[in-house]
Structure 1
């Protein structure tokens, strides 16, 4: 018996693709449907509009996610909670099957952001400077911020580990908000804890959420840059 639930078709639709074009399949609340089935709370989806139940789920899970990490931060007096955790949590629970939401992309992305952010500080001699929000922003700080984001974006592409929230992580560091090496390690630990929660919740929902990286399957809809360029050239030659 397949343990994974078929949650691709929303409740109330007869055939895939029969619903309103204004709704995107990527954004269907599959996590909510799965958890409702597993916890025998499917009657909630019969009594209330699915989107409201989804919104309530996101509210509760978002609150618990950050509250736990903020509690750890309070007890340990370390930055276990920081701004870029927010968009990461949204990715993990809003679009869990997106490649950028996989544990690999999440952990690698933030690690890349941390390294690139701190490397920018070292290169510009700002690793002991006060945060930019406490002083005026000078040319060195501008260069550090720009360089950190550019490096993060480039390295993520090279390592095939794109995770957009990591762009915020690297700016947190290059702007001097968090700079102590020990605290930078804490940031990655906090990301790992968030990933564990993502695995538990999404697996509980019956989703085929990866334990590490999303399996890449051949897709007729995907194309490399070279094939896309060739197609555009053919279109130009054959109007």
Structure 2
């Protein structure tokens, strides 16, 4: 038991370096543009494109565009898989906390199995259960919103002289 509790102390690794002021401003502007674009399309076309997990997606896309979690495959398919699983469990298994927990666990397992892990997408099943969403939620906002985020990230991140986005597609 003592060895188990010692793990709680951590490995005493060095904390990650702080982002530079320029990186912070660049991420700020990119996130603003991405969510403003989604908001604009939501208002203009009267289709829901905003999803809470997209805020966390912006952290990755504009703050950490090189990591695997930020690649287009992970963003688009991670959101799609997680929303699909959330909708499946909500509509075919039931609207209770056990079904919601199974949906979340299944979404994580499927993202891991398909190499499409996008941590913000992990919240999609919970969002779907809280909203009682219908199947159209899979397209609007999930799929269309995720694609918009990737497109904005593609154009914006490549404006930076030291960034290349994406690292890979599929």
Whether these two folds match at TM > 0.5 is yes
Q: Give me the whole-angstrom Cα distance separating, in 2, the residues matched to 1:125 and 1:145.
A: 8
Give the Cα separation in 1 of the matches to 2:75 and 2:139.
15
- Bigger helix fraction: 2
Q: Which residue of 2 aligns with 1:150?
A: 105
The structure whose RCO (Cα within 8 Å, separation 6+) is larger is 2
Answer whether contact 1:178 1:184 (CA < 8 A) is retained.
no
Tell me, what secondary structure is at the counterpart of 1:160?
coil
Q: Which of 160, 183, 189 is 2:115 aligned to?
A: 160
Q: Give how far 1:153 is off.
A: 0.6
1:182-217, Cα deviation, whole Å (9 max, x unpaired): 232112111101001111122222423227438xxx
Contact 1:103 1:211 in 2 (8 A): no
**Which residue of the partner structure matches residue 34 of structure 1?**
none
| CA root-mean-square deviation | 2.1
TM-score for both structures, normalised by structure 1: 0.59
The change in CA–CA distance for 1:178 and 1:61 in structure 2 (over 3 A counts) is: farther
Deviations 1:82-117 (A, max 9, x none): 100001011011110001100001111001111110
Structure 1 pair 210–54 and aligned structure 2 pair: CA distance change class (3 A): closer
The answer for the alignment partner of 1:102 in structure 2 is 71
Aligned residues: 155
Q: Choose 1 or 2 for highest CA Rg.
A: 1
Structure 1, unaligned stretches of length 5 or more?
Answer: 1-20, 29-49, 127-140, 215-239
Residue 179 (structure 1) shift? 1.5
